[in-house]
């Protein structure tokens, strides 16, 4: 048999098809999508409430019915059958269709919202209710995003319902997306306060420390000052302390909305991340460059602000625009989510997020977090590496009996779930000697286990 491209199980396996309940669920999803599609052609502007209710109800209920039937009616356990057989999850036909579709949606939202006009109008009733003003493309985006995290989060909980860690973690992600990244900022707008996201701060919220933003907040009363203080506190004190005790996971897979989407809606694409050594090299160059870049830009802006533009003129503003376009929009949005079905779910988190870079440095050098390996029990099967969304070759550590201490690890805990031998455990413990060593040792002429 030949080695290249050799993949045994792609020979048209019978995956069994769908049952009636699953078909009903999918029908609901399709009707919901159709409702929004019809609305986008014009009717959305005339009857927004009708289309909003029909579209969102069918999408939500349909999605939940399908997920319940797919996961919750089966015995508890890992449900990865046929992931590599389906074109949607294996970079096949449906994977590419979805990838191109999602990418297109992002392009429309970021740069051509005028084409979404009628669809945006559908969300006016909700926007008036929550924000007290008309919807725009960002409200449309935020609502879909939060809805996806909610529905797919419930699906995630059904899928991993044998695991308390996954249930609690997913609930946390849903809570922060729904409350802190959706409801709270909108309600604040309705109360005529600045729109503020309490769970986003520098460097992910990259303009927080820009001179304009900072002075703007300082000039907007007590709440503005509080918000600036809150953001600064989280960056300078909260993040180092929490990361020391729990690792970067406290943010990346418990709070952050990007991580939230990846770990709910993106769950079926997590295995598509690149595990090669080469990809790890690229990751290190890229993600730390972005952190350096945004730090530099922020500093330059302050220099420029003090010197009143004498040194750099409008050059810094150009830098900001380019950063916003390339990193903030193209990378975080278009590639980050649009390419889920092609590059996996955490492309942004792994290669581009400056917040992840900052957290990663803390995790690598100042943290009690590690993934512990259980002695010599690893059978090198590869499930842990395959399902690591951050592209960490977990197996390369596990099979040597070494603990895993990697800047990239977001502590989602899936490696520990999919391990068929119970070898991996996410743990917080003494920071000293976190990187364990090989448990199988040969000493005094005896092969044995290190205690």
Partner 1 sequence: MKVIIIGNGIAGITAARFIRKQSSHDITVISGESKYFYSRTALMYIYMGHMKYEHTKPYEDWFWEKNRINLIHGWVGKINTSQKKVNLTNGDILEYDKLVIATGSHSNMFDWLGNDLNGVQGLYSLMDLEKLELNSKDTDSAVIVGGGLIGIELAEMLHSRKKKVTLLVREDGFFRNVFPKEESEIINRHIREHGIDLKLNTELKEIKGENDRVKSVITNSGEEILSQLVGITVGVHPNIDIIKDTDIETSKGVLVNEHLETNVKDVYAIGDCVELRKTPEGRKTIEPVWYVGSMMGKCVANNICGVKEVYNPGVWYNSAKFFDIEYQTYGNVPNEIGDGLSNVYWEHENGKKCIRIAYDAQSKEVKGFNLLGIRYRQNVCIKWIEQKLSIDQVLTELSKANFDPEFTPRYEDKLAGQKV
Residues at the site binding partner 1, with contacts judged by CB under 8 A:
1, 3, 6-16, 75-78, 80-86, 162-165, 168, 276-277, 372, 374-377, 379-383, 385-386, 395-396, 399, 413, 416-418, 420-422, 425-427, 439-440, 442, 445-451
Shortest separation between residue 95's beta carbon and partner 1, angstroms: 14
Q: Are 393 and 232 contacting, i.e. CB atoms less than 8 angstroms apart?
A: no
The residue (of 256 and 412) whose beta carbon lies closer to partner 1 is 412
Q: Encode 255-266: b = buried (16+ Cβ within 10 Å), e = exposed.
A: bbbbbbbbbbbb
What does the alpha-carbon distance between residue 141 and residue 266 come to, in Å, rounded to a whole number? 16
The residue (of 42 and 375) whose beta carbon lies closer to partner 1 is 375
Shortest separation between residue 381's beta carbon and partner 1, angstroms: 4
Q: How many angstroms separate the Cα of 341 from the Cα of each of 89, 267, 287?
A: 7, 10, 21
Q: Are 63 and 25 contacting, i.e. CB atoms less than 8 angstroms apart?
A: yes
What's phi and psi for 90, nearest 5 deg?
-130, 35
Query: Which of 283, 279, 438, 272 lies closest to 350, judged by CA?
Result: 283
Shortest separation between residue 354's beta carbon and partner 1, angstroms: 28
The residue (of 207 and 393) whose beta carbon lies closer to partner 1 is 393
Shortest separation between residue 419's beta carbon and partner 1, angstroms: 9
Measure the N-to-C terminal CA separation of the chain; round to a whole number of Å. Answer: 43
Shortest separation between residue 405's beta carbon and partner 1, angstroms: 17
The residue (of 171 and 295) whose beta carbon lies closer to partner 1 is 171
Q: Are 311 and 304 contacting, i.e. CB atoms less than 8 angstroms apart?
A: yes
How many CB atoms are closer than 10 A to CB 84?
14
What's phi and psi for 428, nearest 5 deg?
-110, 130
The residue (of 9 and 114) whose beta carbon lies closer to partner 1 is 9
The number of C-alpha atoms within 13 Å of 46 and in the hemisphere containing its C-beta is: 5
The residue (of 56 and 386) whose beta carbon lies closer to partner 1 is 386
Q: Which two tokens stand for residue 163?
A: 């695991």
Q: Which two tokens stand for residue 300?
A: 């330059």
Shortest separation between residue 218's beta carbon and partner 1, angstroms: 41
The residue (of 277 and 310) whose beta carbon lies closer to partner 1 is 277
Q: Are 84 and 99 contacting, i.e. CB atoms less than 8 angstroms apart?
A: no
The residue (of 186 and 434) whose beta carbon lies closer to partner 1 is 434
Shortest separation between residue 13's beta carbon and partner 1, angstroms: 6
What does the alpha-carbon distance between residue 114 and residue 263 come to, in Å, rounded to a whole number? 31
- What angle, rounded to 10 degrees, do the helices at 211-218 and 277-306 form? 60
Shortest separation between residue 168's beta carbon and partner 1, angstroms: 6
């Amino acid at each position: 048999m030949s080695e290249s491209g050799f993949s045994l199980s792609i020979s048209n396996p019978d995956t069994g098809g769908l049952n009636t309940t699953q078909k009903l669920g999918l029908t609901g999803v399709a009707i919901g999508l159709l409702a929004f599609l019809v609305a986008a052609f014009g009717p959305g502007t005339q009857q927004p409430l009708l289309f909003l209710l029909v579209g969102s109800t069918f999408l939500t209920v349909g999605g939940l019915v399908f997920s319940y039937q797919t996961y919750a009616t089966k015995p508890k356990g890992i449900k990865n059958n046929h992931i590599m057989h389906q074109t949607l999850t294996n970079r096949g036909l449906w994977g590419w269709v979805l990838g191109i579709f999602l990418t297109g949606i992002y392009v429309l939202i970021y740069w051509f919202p005028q084409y979404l006009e009628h669809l945006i109008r559908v969300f006016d009733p909700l926007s008036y209710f929550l924000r007290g003003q008309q919807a725009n493309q960002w409200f449309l985006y935020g609502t879909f995003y939060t809805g996806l995290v909610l529905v797919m989060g419930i699906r995630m909980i059904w899928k991993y319902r044998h695991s308390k860690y996954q249930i609690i973690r997913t609930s946390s992600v849903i809570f922060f997306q729904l409350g802190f990244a959706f409801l709270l900022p909108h309600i604040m707008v309705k109360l005529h306060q600045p729109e503020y996201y309490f769970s986003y701060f520098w460097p992910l919220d990259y303009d927080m420390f820009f001179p304009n933003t900072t002075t703007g907040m300082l000039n907007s009363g007590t709440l503005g000052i509080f918000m600036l203080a809150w953001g600064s506190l989280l960056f300078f004190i909260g993040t180092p302390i929490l990361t020391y005790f729990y690792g970067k996971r406290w943010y990346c897979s418990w709070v952050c909305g990007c991580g939230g989407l990846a770990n709910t809606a993106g769950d079926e694409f997590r295995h598509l991340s690149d595990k090669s050594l080469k990809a790890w090299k690229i990751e290190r160059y890229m993600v730390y460059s972005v952190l350096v870049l945004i730090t530099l830009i922020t500093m330059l802006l302050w220099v420029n602000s003090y010197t009143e533009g004498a040194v750099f003129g409008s050059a810094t503003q150009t830098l900001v625009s380019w950063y916003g376009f390339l990193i903030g929009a193209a990378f975080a949005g278009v590639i980050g989510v649009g390419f889920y079905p092609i590059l996996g779910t955490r492309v942004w988190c792994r290669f581009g997020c400056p917040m992840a870079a900052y957290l990663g440095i803390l995790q690598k050098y100042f943290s009690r977090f590690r993934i512990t390996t259980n002695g010599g029990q690893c059978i090198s099967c590869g499930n842990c590496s395959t399902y690591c969304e951050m592209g960490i070759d977990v197996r390369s550590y596990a099979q040597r009996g070494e603990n895993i201490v990697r800047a990239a690890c977001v502590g989602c805990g899936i490696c520990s779930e999919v391990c068929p031998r119970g070898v991996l455990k996410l743990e917080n413990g003494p920071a000293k000697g976190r990187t364990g060593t090989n448990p199988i040792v040969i000493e005094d002429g005896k092969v044995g286990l290190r205690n």
